[in-house]
Amino acid sequence: MKLWGGRFTKEENELVNHFNASISFDQRFYRQDIRGSIAHVTMLAKQKILTDEEKAQIVEGLEHILSDVENGLLSIDPAAEDIHSFVEATLIERIGDVGKKLHTGRSRNDQVALDMKLYVRDEIGELNFLVKELLQAILKIMEENLTAYMPGFTHLQKAQPVTVAHHFGAYFEMFLRDRSRLFDIRKRMNTCPLGAGALAGTTYPLDREYTAALLDFDCATRNSMDSVSDRDYLIELASAMATIMMHLSRFSEEIILWNSNEYQFVELDDAYSTGSSIMPQKKNPDIAELVRGKTGRVYGALTSILTTMKGIPLAYNKDMQEDKEMIFDAIDTTKGCLGLFTGMISTMKFHKDIMKKSAAKGFTNATDAADYLVNHGIPFRDAHGIVGRLVLYCLDKGISLDDMSLEEYKAISPVFEKDIYDAISLKTCVDRRTTLGAPGPSVMEQVIKSYQKMLIEE
Ligand code: ARG
């Protein structure tokens, strides 16, 4: 029997039942549903809409249902329409008629809006925690690799030398922004829809601010129609998760390249690699590839919820039930990827010697050679031309700028002196880049200190 069976004369079609039901996926927020109901009846009793005795019986019944589900003594009935119906029907079955008063002054529309918010709020907390763990892992790598040189790339072509600390610092910044997005969403969504009823509030003297406080919301929502039809926070969360995944995916792509035979910058731990069924020599970066691949499904959730919402008139419409599966999947996927990714980079080995050698090759010091000329009074544009000729000369001979003799330098520009070798050494190229945000270890150290402080102070 449905909650709403009174007005109907026929049992519904089995296929309709199945199509309409959400129990298979909304059962995951049974805790939040029960918590919301307890707050609701507590408020109803405070407002004398229920007696204290009725409240006590209902709360006790709900608490039993919760502990029985947690302990495996009560299984959620897959034939129920949704989690709200299941909890209410079980309550009535267990405590009798008084249980029928639970839904006074409430609709499933404000109830599901509340449950989803409570659930998502908890999950934002977990996502935050996982991003923080990732930040800590990145920071540790930065601390340990302040002077580990590596090539910096643009267009995937060697550009200028940087350090591992500097490269990882870029990701630290990205995930820091991701965290602040999660904080923002949590702050903006933290208003309580309970009491909005089906769409137009109720005639009972509810104390909505009291319920909001019981459930740790900052305040109650101000428009009952918006309360039951707002899913903005899910769109924001899907967008924030899509951005986290985009960052993880870029990072994965780099690790896949670095772990390849051609680069050999890093080696993934055996525990985070997989083998091939045919080629015995293989050690594949499947975890990084899967993270990169799963980014697509999180983007899918964002597109899906945006599309679902775009044509819905006020207020609640059943389309909104479609907000759940995609968002749940996106949350599970993002959480899973964050955890695994942190483990993967924490156990990854850096081949610092190979990275350093690679940084020294490919004319990554050409800009510094030009800067040397500028420091000796040559205008930058001319210096650029001179170094271009040096590079051409080296390419022809198959050598690097460091291998040229002073005579060879002087043949192209008399300005060059013996100190050119020091000016274009890898160490100088990196150490002298000390503008804020650059890889120079002295400035990087300051930045790392500010990151450490950020993570401790929260
Ligand atoms: N399962 C529904 C959902 O997820 C609950 C709300 C049902 N409300 C209604 N008016 N049928 O949206």
Q: What count of residues does the chain have? A: 458
User: For residue 316, which atom of ligand 1 is closest to its CA?
Assistant: 10
Residues 94, 96: Cα–Cα separation, whole Å: 6
Query: Is residue 155 annotated as a catalytic residue, yes or no?
Result: yes
User: Which strand (E) or helix (H) includes residue 161?
Assistant: strand 157-163
- Mean pLDDT to the nearest integer, 151-177: 97
**pLDDT value of position 448:** 98
- Mean pLDDT to the nearest integer, 52-68: 98
Sign of CA dihedral 446, 449, 451, 454: negative
Residue type present at position 84:
H
Over 70: is that where the pLDDT of 1 sits? Answer: no
Backbone φ, ψ for residue 284 (5° rounding) = -100, 145
Residues 121, 212: Cα–Cα separation, whole Å: 14
Residues 34, 115: Cα–Cα separation, whole Å: 9
Confidence of residue 347 (pLDDT cuts 50, 70, 90): very high
Query: Are 348 and 267 in contact, with CB atoms under 8 Å apart?
Result: yes
Write out pLDDT tens, residues 215-235.
999 999 999 999 999 999 999
Residue 188: count other Cβ atoms within 10 Å of its Cβ.
Answer: 12
Confidence of residue 321 (pLDDT cuts 50, 70, 90): very high
CA of 299 to the centre of ligand 1 (A): 25
CA of 82 to the centre of ligand 1 (A): 8
Over 90: is that where the pLDDT of 13 sits? Answer: no
User: For residue 323, which atom of ligand 1 is closest to its CA?
Assistant: 4
pTM, whole model, 2 decimals?
A: 0.94
Assigned token pair, 195: 């009491």
Query: Is residue 40 annotated as a catalytic residue, yes or no?
Result: no
Write out pLDDT tens, residues 85-129.
999 999 999 999 999 999 999 999 999 999 999 999 999 999 999
Backbone φ, ψ for residue 157 (5° rounding) = -110, 140
Query: Are 384 and 308 in contact, with CB atoms under 8 Å apart?
Result: no
Residue type present at position 359:
A
The 3-state secondary structure of 179-221 reads HHHHHHHHHHHCEECCCCCCCCCCCCCCCHHHHHHHCCCCEEC
Peptide bond into 359 cis (omega under 30): no
Residue type present at position 62:
L
Backbone φ, ψ for residue 119 (5° rounding) = -65, -50
- Mean pLDDT to the nearest integer, 153-164: 95
CA of 437 to the centre of ligand 1 (A): 50
Residues 3, 423: Cα–Cα separation, whole Å: 80
190 class by beta-carbon count within 10 Å (0-12 exposed, 13-18 middle, 19+ buried): middle
The catalytic residue among 75, 155, 405, 450 is 155
Which residues pair with residue 219 across a beta bridge?
A: 191
Share of the chain above pLDDT 90, in %: 93
User: For residue 22, which atom of ligand 1 is closest to its CA?
Assistant: 1
CA of 85 to the centre of ligand 1 (A): 10
**pLDDT value of position 414:** 95
**pLDDT value of position 378:** 96
Write out pLDDT tens, residues 286-315.
999 999 999 999 999 999 999 999 999 999
- Which residues approach ligand 1 with their CB closer than 6 A? 22, 26, 82, 108-109, 112, 316, 318, 320-321
Share of the chain above pLDDT 70, in %: 100
User: For residue 81, which atom of ligand 1 is closest to its CA?
Assistant: 1
Least confident of 4-13, 187-196, 443-452: 4-13
Question: Nearest residue CA, atom 3 of ligand 1?
Answer: 321
Confidence of residue 8 (pLDDT cuts 50, 70, 90): confident
- Mean pLDDT to the nearest integer, 156-165: 95
